[in-house]
Every structure is written in structure tokens, then in C-alpha cells.
Amino acid sequence: MAKVTGIGGLFFKAHDPKTLASWYRDVLGLPLEDWGGALLGTDVEVRPPHLVWCPFRHDTDYFTPSTGAFMVNFAVDDLDGMIARIESKKVVILGRGENDPNGRFAWLMDPEGTKIELWEPKK
């Protein structure tokens, strides 16, 4: 029987796609391709243990201060190093979560108001 095997991409609208893509490249280090997006590899040694797909209730405050309908979670290999990189770009870290059984987290906003969650999976 046919089944879903994973997420093949994340596509969304932006007011200024080129500027937003450059911000993600400069602040988070996404490797932009000539066509404007990024290809994030699936190397077994560095990828997170799973990809989470989860709808939230319409009145959740988990995405706050964003008013957007979605939040992006990026798995990272070194949360402290990523936070240092982000803060060096004068981007504010909204908070951190250190005691989650799934790993460590930090949150920030992109220039268009989308909340980003960074996740260093528990080893």
C-alpha cells in the first residue's frame, strides 16, 4: 500500500523572498542554491532522529510572539555555537529550553515574523 515516507520540502510565501533567503543564509547558515532555496541533506550521521509533523490547536501560544500559522524547527548539531552565531548577527534569542527529554531548544523570529525553533537532539 502507498504511504507517506517523509517531508520533501517546506514551501511558504514571503513578502521579499530574496531578502528573507539571504537572512536565513547569513543568520542560520542555510546553504542557498542559485534558485533561491536550500537543500538540507539527509546524512544519517548528522540528521535528527526523526521529523515531527504535528498540528497545534488554533489558539496555541507556543508560536508566540509570531501570529503566523506555522513555526519552523531546525535541528542543529551545536545549539550553543548556533546561538553565538545568531547573536553575533544582532538577532535576539527569545528563550531557551534546556531540560526537555528530547534535547535542548532555543527560539527566535525571522524578519517576516515567523518563529523559529532550534533543536539540538538528545544524544
Q: What residues does each domain of the chain span?
A: 49-123
Q: What is the spatial distance between Cα 77 and Cα 120, in angstroms, rounded to a whole number?
A: 6
Reported confidence tier of residue 5, pLDDT bands at 50, 70, 90: confident
Q: Is the pTM of this model over 0.75?
A: yes
- pLDDT tens, 30-49? 999 999 999 988 776 777 77
Report which secondary-structure segment, H or E, holds 88: helix 79-88
Cell of 120: 539540538
- pLDDT tens, 101-122? 989 999 999 999 999 999 998 8
Q: What is the spatial distance between Cα 7 and Cα 35, in angstroms, rounded to a whole number?
A: 20
Domain 49-123: assigned CATH number: 3.10.180.10
Q: What is the dihedral of CA 31, 32, 33, 38, to 10 degrees?
A: 80
